[in-house]
Chains A and B, each alone.
Chain A
Amino acid sequence: MNRKSILILFGFLLFATFTYAQKIIKGKVTDVADGTGIPGVSVLVKGTSSGTTTQPDGSYAIDVPASGTTLIFKYLGFDTQEITIGDKTVINAILSSSSQTLEGVVVTALGIKRSEKSVGYATQTVKGDNLTLTKEQNVIGSLAGKIDYGNVSQDINPEDIESVSVLKGPAASALYGIRGQYGVILITTKKGSKGTKKVNISVNSAFSIEKTANFLELQNIYGVGNNQTFLTLTGGQKYVNGNDESWGPKMDGTPVRMFYSFYPQDPEFGQLTPFVPHPDNIKDFYETGHNINNGITVTGGSENIDYRISYNNAYVNGVIPNTWLKRNNLGLSSSLKITDKLSVGANVNYANNNGQRPTQGYQGSFTGATQWFQRNIDIDRLRNYKYADGTILNWNVNPNTATGIVTNNKPSDWNNPFFDAYEVLNNDNRDRLFGDVNATYQVLPELKLSGFVRSDMFTQNITHKEPLGGRLVDSYQIGKYQNEENNYEFLGQYAKTLNDISLNFNVGANLYTVKYSQQYQATVGGLSSPGWYSAAASIDRPISTSFLRRKQVRSVYAMGSIGYKDTYFLDASIRNDVSSALPNNNNSYWYPSVSGSFVFSELVKWKALSFGKLRASYAIAGSDLSPYQTAFTYGPGSNYPATAGAINTLLVPDKLKNPNIKPSFANSFEVGMDLKFLKNRLGLELTYYNQENKDQIIDLSVSGASGFDQTVVNAGLIQNKGVELSLTGRPIQSKLFTWDATLNFARNKNKIVELYPGISVLQNDLNTYSSQTIYLNSTVGRTFGNLIGPGYKIDPGTGKVLLGADNMPLFDAAKDFGSVLPDFTGGFQNTFKIWKFDLGAMIDFQKGGQFMSWSKMLSAKSGQAAETAAINDKGFNVRDAIAAGGGVKVNGISQATGQEVTAYVDARTYYRTNLGTRIYDEWIYSASYVKLREVSLGYNFDGKVLAKTPFKTAKLSVIARNPVMIWQKAPKGVDPSELSSGSSSISWIEKGELQTVRSFGVNLNLTF
């Protein structure tokens, strides 16, 4: 901001304040609980019309007429306090929350605390203490395969979190512009407090164990093979091969040569072993994981300074052998009051993550075992994966039938899982530094100017070692990823109360810069010396890439609000963004919001109603796109080292960029009502919204015959309408027993109104396997995200399945399986206080939303699924010969004759070639579920017990995460509740990467 604009701003404000130069009483209103200032407290002079509200830091200044004798401090959720003025000129008030506390302060955009009643949109705030209920160590999720590299939330020490605010809808987050289009999650970190000379130390220790659970139901009758006849070696011994399917002979104890008997190094070389099932051979691969977390926090302060130092250390051992994660967090926050008006502060957080994780992807680790494996393998026999001479023991290889020895020891699809775990190593290390430096100048009691520089930077190294002896060429991959994001912010806040009118005015500017770079190298063609993991070891020309992304967004914004009699509130904001990623001639865009609320409980004198508010908002949120999408470029092709000289090919990329891209806008309208009854013991929040995204910037899939298969365009009109309901209550309240409950419910209706001229389908995603493709398509006139893929061909007359000449179901390549979006979702959170115990339970639920279980499909295709060895209605196993009463019973219409047919068909052909390959009807399920996500039980030691100890407070809790799936529509073994926790925005397919993990832990919190 240059000098001229500061002067203009000052001129306006000075004018406003000179008129009120009278006798003033100053002070600060703080919360007894944590000593922090409370903003928005009504400060009234009893018996007069004078009044004001406190500033964001809790301070106030009020003009007191000669007749004034008493100040009244009134704030929702706190007990009202009256203080006699006497001859004091400074009056500080300390408010304590009233017994029926319901959070009255919300942290809104830009961290501005506001009274709940004054905001015209829905917000939800969860206090840090309550977060223990949900603060699952992110690292656990990471080890289960859900890696979200670079997500900052992974680097925040949960102990540092003061509160998490969820700002819903564009009006709430309008000031965040692009980044807030879909709502904002605002994490407020804890601070020390000034004025308290004593030092507080608290320590936190937690320990938990993780266990895998919820495995698919598999059959234990038939072992590996393509048919039920044992194979024989030339010498006459029966043997089983390295196939990864279980369509073979009955596991009836017949002595056979197993995989290890083909290795001359093996003690059982040449020997026969009974062919029997190993029902737990998948489950027994996994280990019990554990998680140790220790932290210490020191807070304190004096007259002019406050500080908070925290350190946290976490160590996680994953359920997959030889995987772990270590994390260290160090946090320092401090603020210094230089003068009464000027204060500066800094928050610095350092996080280091160091991990060894399972290989991602389909064939990466043992997560594919329910899909392709042998029911007859003893997992313990794979544990010692390497013989003394270095030979790797593999199950997915075949012996030479003449010699009974493995000569080609390269597995065709699957490594020994223990070789994967102990030799194929993925390591990553991330150092992250984030925080801010800020300065605040309280120019006048009503006017505060602040400046922030916020930075977030990380450097991450990821390596992958692929050793000799597995299915792949030995290789080494190394990547270095660096990101630096900076926000330079200015914020001016003006607040003033004139009699019944409260005014707030904020103006701000922000410069956002991001610079991301990566360097990646991978060897090709093998390593020139075995075990030499270096890019320099590449036998052929290595892959070597560099990538740089830079972007800037310049923003200015202003927000004003006016309140009247604490009853009527009106907000308006406007923001301008200028994005470097948009075409130079069209890179600036404005968007406004307006919202209002009416606290009708101030007017309605109905005793039962403690609070009642109507709110409405309308907002437009603008957005841009990621950089480098507005000009055509070529792409790098592979290198052909011809004898006459290397040929470096270049190519026309498959995605067409667009020089005419425009910023896009989402328009949203929202109305709602917040009600609280019976001294806040019962609350209801209801919101209805209607959002329209027009000309969104999307990557549109187009016919590849155009020469491109994607293009970036402004396209479409997508409508989202919905309701959100939150019901809170305290059904029981007594000295020994209190029950608090919150029920959240959300329902969204979505419609694609328009798309792009000539194209009525937006192809969001696809998955191809066995040459069959399933699409996630959004079609004009319908809802977002329908699954289209191969399925039963239906006879239009009867609605029955059409059968071919062999009585196998015919398939239709493009069947519609419905939308992946749920009908509704919700959560039910309960907290019970029983004597000194706190008992918490969180239940999640969802109705509808289709998803595909690829695990389930392939477990059937490979002959492992229980149903592939079921008993048919004649009492015979479906795998028995049809002539002998076996076979799967099918019913349908013969395509050739049009007649209804009931027949028995070969189980392998039915499940492997047909259902497991191209009848997706059988593998697409509704995601409906009710799940107990978490239960916790805490005990607070009381003062009497602690009096003899150095501790001020002590709390012990036990927590079970993910203990029970209460009900689900999909079959056992797939967990629909874990689907949406992946990194992509819509998860609709499960490939075995989400093995359910249950966690049980103990937590101890102590303060000194």
Chain B
Amino acid sequence: MKTIYKSIFSCSLALLMLGSCTKFDDSINTDPNSPTKASGTQLIANAELFLPGISSSPYGVHYPQYLSNTSFSDNSRYVTVNFNFYGLYTGPLMNLENVINNANLDASEGPVANQIAVAKILKAYYFWHMTDRWGDLPYTEALKGDVNYSPKYDKQQVIYNALFTLLDEANAAFVTGAIKNDIVYGGDVAKWKKLGNTIHALMALRLSKVDATKGATEFNKAVTNGMMTANTDNLTYPHLADQNNENYWYNSFTRLGRNWFAVSKPVVDYMQPLNDPRLPVYANKPTNTAITTYVGLDYGLPGSTTVTIANYSLLGSNLRLQNSPVPLVTYAQQLFAMAEAAKIGWIAGGDVTALANYNNAVTESIRQWTGSTTGAATYLAQANVAYDPATALMKIGTQRWVHLFLHGYEGWAEWRRTGFPTFLAPPPANNGALIPRREAYGTQERSINATNYNAAVASLPYGGADDLNARVWWDKP
């Protein structure tokens, strides 16, 4: 109170005469509710929190038809067209950008070079995921805050090239020394380095239809730089038995009590006849005990159909525990990529190398999902599974689809690129809707970044409208 009166008295005269008593105690407009400092690894950790969302999506999971809806089938019938991408820029990407451009990172949290390299790998990973969903996106002018509130859209090719460069920079920058506050690898930068190169190779393979030369070059670069060597190198998001950090599917099934997701008929009908050891992980048997087999639910049923849930295989219980981990970038996927690269001549060895990598990929996939390789050899020995030079790409593509189960956006990208598996059909009686090949931009861009949005839509690489049917650059018709 005393100080208030003091300030009244001392200011009054000056105010009356000059109208200028403009000094306030510095503390009064300093926000006591928010920190003014954040360490690089705290920001990286926050960016990592968004990782499971790349896989755990009630939209992405439907495009490659991993899950079908038992109730409220709108998502499986593509009712949603426009998808907002702002959250990925303002969320993880802006945190990472802040680390990459920070001149004052604290070396006590691990070598500064490593902090920046990890941020660059995560940045590349998020942008890769995004450009595969939407195609052309703001990149070169993005994440610049008040420097540019209306960033232009860059061509997907430009973004891919920029991400290759970013991954090269990260690969070259790593030094010895763990970093702190790392949710996914516990600070092990050797694993980060391998992850960067695996992402590099998988991205390179995306170019197989559109620019094989560039793809092969980048692929080989990644192989040379050193990729994953075991499932323990996988990028897997570790959820916890903690409501603040729980698995998305746990929330949906258990927390909200919604048995809305069954494994789809194409998945079960492909896996069951082959006695796939992964099926008991992917799916539960129907709760109706009269049924003894796995039963996949027809994909994309009209909403007027009432599904008797007890008669179908819901998503496997172990994939929807509170702490079920979410695999994102895996050793097996890398092995499938190696097999395909060998088959199409990007790396040496032809069918021999392809076969070795393929068998390895299936075995490692079984190990990843079931915890052991039991049954892998028997499984691989079946004619419909065994590598065959004549149908190699089909086998690789279909097995990769099985391996990428639940990671909808990735499985969908590989389906778009390769066309495998061939047995996915659009939902029936759905106004002629085709399986989407792209997600449309969020509608906010039409008004608050209109010029750039319109320019992007006017130059979609293969024409079409801003909808689910236009194609991204690497998805050459």
Contacts and interface: CB of A to CB of B under 8 A. Distances in A.
A627 interface: yes
Given A5-B12, A412-B258, A576 B19 contact: yes
B306 interface: yes
Interface of B: 4-5, 7-13, 15-17, 19-24, 28-39, 42-43, 45-46, 49, 71, 74, 79-87, 89-91, 93-95, 97-98, 137-138, 141-146, 148-151, 181, 183, 186, 240, 242-245, 255-259, 287-290, 302-306, 308-310, 429, 431-432, 440, 442-452
Contacts of A540: 242-244
A637 interface: yes
A131 to B, nearest CB: 35
Nearest to B10: A2
A476 to B, nearest CB: 14
Closest 3 CB pairs of A and B: A704-B86, A410-B257, A628-B31
Contact of B244 (A4, A541, A556): A541
Contact of B8 (A488, A707, A908): A488
A777 to B, nearest CB: 6
A766 B32 CA distance: 30
Nearest to B28: A580
Interface stretch (A36-44, A47-55, A648-656): A648-656
Contacts of A651: 38, 43, 46, 91, 95
A758 interface: yes
Interface residues of A, number: 117
Contacts of A556: 12, 15-16, 19
A758 B150 contact: yes
B142 A554 contact: no
Given A648-B42, A707-B90, A2 B12 contact: yes
B46 A706 contact: no
Interface stretch (A212-220, A768-776, A922-930): A768-776
5 contacts: A580-B24, A627-B28, A628-B29, A634-B36, A648-B181
A814 B142 contact: no
B42 A708 contact: no
A632 B38 CA distance: 12
A703 B29 contact: no
Interface string A748-782: 00000000101111010010001101010101000
Interface in A533-591: 539-541, 546-548, 550-552, 554-556, 576, 578, 580-581, 584, 587-588, 590
Nearest to A525: B243
B240 A408 contact: no
A17 interface: no
A75 B73 CA distance: 76
Nearest to A805: B432
A584 B22 contact: yes
A706 B144 contact: yes
A584 B310 CA distance: 67
A647 B45 contact: yes
A471 B256 contact: yes
A562 to B, nearest CB: 21
A813 interface: yes
Nearest to A403: B310
A641 B242 contact: yes
A511 interface: yes
Interface stretch (A223-231, A495-503, A842-850): A223-231
Contacts of B19: 556, 576, 588, 590
A711 B145 CA distance: 9
A509 B256 contact: no
B255 to A, nearest CB: 7
A633 B36 contact: yes
Contacts of B447: 761, 763, 775, 777, 779, 788, 814
A773 to B, nearest CB: 5
Contact of B22 (A541, A550, A588, A658): A588
Given A1-B13, A634-B38, A703-B150, A227 B306 contact: yes
Contacts of A104: none
A726 interface: no
A509 B20 CA distance: 13
A411 interface: yes
Contacts of A578: 15, 20-22
B186 to A, nearest CB: 6
B90 A554 contact: no
Which one of A507, A546, A701 has the greatest number of beta carbons of chain B within 10 Å? A701
A805 B310 contact: no
A397 B259 CA distance: 11
B306 A546 contact: no
A359 to B, nearest CB: 17
Interface in A634-685: 634-642, 644, 647-654, 656, 658
Given A524-B243, A584-B22, A773 B4 contact: no
A166 to B, nearest CB: 30
Nearest to B81: A813
B428 to A, nearest CB: 12
A707 B257 contact: no
A649 B149 contact: no
A233 B3 CA distance: 77
A226 B29 contact: no
A763 B444 contact: yes
Which one of B71, B440, B448 has the greatest number of beta carbons of chain A within 10 Å? B448
A132 interface: no
Contacts of B146: 656, 658, 706, 711
A247 interface: yes
Contact of A913 (B8, B39, B90, B303): B303
Which one of A400, A486, A647 has the greatest number of beta carbons of chain B within 10 Å? A647
A856 interface: no
Interface string A615-631: 00000000000011011
Contacts of A701: 444, 448
B16 A5 contact: yes
A204 B33 CA distance: 47
B145 A226 contact: no
A627 B43 CA distance: 25
A225 B448 CA distance: 41
Given A705-B138, A708-B94, A513 B4 contact: yes
Contacts of B448: 701-703, 759, 761, 763
A401 B36 CA distance: 57
A771 B33 contact: no
A813 B29 contact: no
Contacts of A524: 243-244
A895 B446 CA distance: 23
A635 B35 CA distance: 6
Contacts of B39: 650
B94 to A, nearest CB: 4
A342 B94 CA distance: 63
A398 interface: yes
Contacts of B49: 637-638, 640, 649
B24 A227 contact: no
Contacts of A638: 49, 244-245
A89 B17 CA distance: 40
Nearest to A1: B12
Contacts of A788: 447
A473 B255 contact: yes
A548 B444 contact: no
Given A637-B45, A908-B303, 17 more contacts: A540-B244, A552-B28, A578-B22, A580-B24, A628-B31, A628-B33, A637-B42, A641-B240, A650-B43, A703-B151, A705-B141, A708-B145, A763-B447, A770-B79, A771-B79, A775-B444, A779-B447
B24 A552 contact: yes
A551 B28 contact: yes
Contacts of B445: 703
A946 B359 CA distance: 105
A709 interface: yes
A374 interface: no
Contact of A706 (B89, B245, B309, B446): B89
A4 B15 CA distance: 13
B149 A706 contact: yes
